[in-house]
Chains A and B, each alone.
Chain A
Amino acid sequence: MNRSLTQPTNLALGLVLILLIALPFFAPNYYVQFASKAMLMGMLALSLNLVVGFGGLVSLCHAAFFGLAGYMLGFQSPESAGASLWLSLPVALLVVAAVAAVIGTLSLRTRGIYFIMVTLAFGEMLFYFFHDTKIGGGSDGLYIYFKPEIALFGQTLIDLDNSRSFYLLVLASLVMTAGLIRGLVNSPFGHALQAARDNERRALSLGFPVFRLRLMAFILSAMIAGLAGYFSAAQFGFVAPQMLGWHLSATVLVMVVLGGMSSILGPIVGAFALIGLEEVLKSAFEHWKLIKGLIIIALVFALPGGLQQLTRLVLPKSEGPHTGKDSDNQPVEADHAANLGSLSDPMTGLIQPPMTSANAKGLQHV
């Protein structure tokens, strides 16, 4: 890897990160909390994109994993104190993983539109489970009176009641999650997942256990959605069945597509854009939902590869093939050129393989 800080995309990413770290130290509290919420939606979108963008599996039940983890925090929180994060978070994620394993095992036997339908049905089942039973307070939901505690030997390490600390913890989690997804996409696992997306039959005849591969991706993705849901419940101190509903699943899917599902960071951009757009329109117009719809339609027409396409317009091209937002996800092509000393086709620099590079779809649309 010969990536350097001088590469414009890395530089831009670094600047954005510094800005995000600095934000709670100068922005009013309202915006700090707003940004925390946006980042958690970004994390949820990131998780969904692992299966949608890289697995080719459009899941409509990710909100259920998000909400389920929130409820798990609610169940583990005593009325007079906060739950220990060290215990409650792993429990929440394990429950989500178990539920995802069951849903995935059944739904991954279907393909295409049927997979969407089956995941939708499972998501709604979980929604009605919490909506129609008294387990989680029914349709009223459940209050979480105290935020989870992060303590070591009785000493509080991070006070989540402080919105600045909460923000920074969420930011760190988001950065780690993005790093995890990037690592996965470039790992043998990620390549196999993308090969199965591009040609399932071929992936099978090469020897890849496609079903197991997709199930693993589905469970992992659900756990990341759960992480976002856990923090979301902690932030608002409240969980309700709406957290699990298909409405949120669909909204997150819009974030993914809006941001660009062939890139790693695109979904985060999509989440920020959609939530930011709502916030601005809400304060300015009465019929803001109508205007939001029109803007989304316009964006889809103008940028079929998602908002991450915009980065290509802003950032200058550096040497070698360039992927918009995520410079680290550069195609292996460049490395081969270096390793093997042969890059005979001048076109190859322009087209990036989707198996290794995230943004090829976006490029093809241009």
Chain B
Amino acid sequence: MSEIMLSAKGLQRRFGGLKAVSDVSLDIFQNEIHAVIGPNGAGKSTLINLLSGDIPVSGGKVLLGARDITDLAPNTRAMAGVGRSYQKTTIFMDSTVFENVRLAAQAHSGHALRMLGHVRNDTAANASTQAAISETGLTERSGTIARFMSHGEQRQLEIAMVLATNPRVILLDEPLAGMGQAEALRMIALIRALKQGRGVLLVEHDMDAVFALADRLTVMADGQVIASGSPDHVRNHPAVRTAYLGEHEVAA
């Protein structure tokens, strides 16, 4: 069995009286994509926010390898190797692809806040920028302002920014949302390549994509895990079929 990159142990998050996430445990393994599915409001996005540190936990632990990162701020977790994308595209729209990715690379180049010298002259950051751009297939678009790209390309750019932070674990929050068929196929191929040497957590509504990509699957409903295991195991799990998968299976 491969190494566990990131694990959640009994994670809880309450918003007032609402238990958005209660007692969720899961492991993300190296070279694997762990997909989390569930109906709207199941707590999937909250789970990602707890893992990335965007919101603090009400209980439980987050471990990166053996290290407890539960109390670390999101920027410190990012430096430790947790990269994430957002459900709503959060790129810097008025900057070029290169500038967007370089910003991400800069944070990890060793002198993120240097005041001397032009940002263009950071050769280490420039190199990892080029690498991340080419890994996501955006080399042709390097000089294009993000605003003028298609939605699909903007999502690719977001992935490139995550890659430039040199993550060990990547958390993807609905990377296929709003994509057309062709764009989705390109993104699926891109996500499949991401797991090489890393661990990937994928929250996604597109069931075709999930079953095409997932090595491991967790199903959530009402903030709880109702099933977890291999895609085949989950697909045939009776609770899952009734709670969630049924209609999708028919549709698919």
Q: B145 to A206, Cβ gap below 8 A?
A: no
Q: Interface size (A, Cβ < 8 Å)?
A: 44
Whether B66 is near chain A, meaning CB under 8 Å from some CB there, is no
Q: A209 to B114, Cβ gap below 8 A?
A: no
Known: A187-B119, A207-B79. A360 touches B74 (CB 8 A): no
Interface hit among A14-22, A87-95, A328-336:
A328-336
List residues of chain B with CB within 8 A of the CB of A348. Answer: 96, 143-145, 148
Q: B112 to A192, Cβ gap below 8 A?
A: yes
**Range, interface on chain B:** 35 or more
Give chain A's interface secondary structure class: helix
List residues of chain A with CB within 8 A of the CB of B114. Answer: 187-189
Whether A356 is near chain B, meaning CB under 8 Å from some CB there, is yes
Q: B165 to A206, Cβ gap below 8 A?
A: yes
List residues of chain A with CB within 8 A of the CB of B84. Answer: 205
Q: B99 to A188, Cβ gap below 8 A?
A: no
Q: A204 to B143, Cβ gap below 8 A?
A: no
Contact residues, A200-216 vs B (CB, 8 A): 201-210, 212-213, 216
Whether B113 is near chain A, meaning CB under 8 Å from some CB there, is yes
Q: A344 to B116, Cβ gap below 8 A?
A: no
Chain A nearest CB from B83 CB (Å) reads 8
List residues of chain B with CB within 8 A of the CB of A351. Answer: 94, 145, 147
Count the A-B residue pairs with Cβ separation under 8 angstroms: how many?
Answer: 145
Give which listed residue, A192, A340, A354, A355, contacts B143 with CB less than 8 A. A340
A-facing mask of B134-155, CB < 8 A → 1, else 0?
Answer: 0000001111110110000000
Chain B nearest CB from A117 CB (Å) reads 25
Chain B nearest CB from A338 CB (Å) reads 9
Known: A205-B84, A207-B108, A208-B75. A332 touches B99 (CB 8 A): yes
Q: A192 to B113, Cβ gap below 8 A?
A: yes
Q: B75 to A333, Cβ gap below 8 A?
A: no
List residues of chain B with CB within 8 A of the CB of A199. Answer: 90, 92
Whether B52 is near chain A, meaning CB under 8 Å from some CB there, is yes
Whether B54 is near chain A, meaning CB under 8 Å from some CB there, is yes
Chain B nearest CB from A365 CB (Å) reads 14
**Which residues of A are at the interface with B, using a C-beta cutoff of 8 A?**
183-184, 186-192, 195, 198-199, 201-210, 212-213, 216, 332-333, 335-337, 340, 342-345, 347-348, 351-356, 360
**Which residues of B are at the interface with A, using a C-beta cutoff of 8 A?**
52, 54, 73-75, 78-79, 83-84, 86, 90-92, 94-96, 98-99, 103-104, 106-109, 111-120, 122, 125, 140-145, 147-148, 161, 165
The 6 closest A-B pairs by CB, nearest first: A207-B78, A353-B95, A207-B107, A336-B143, A353-B94, A189-B115
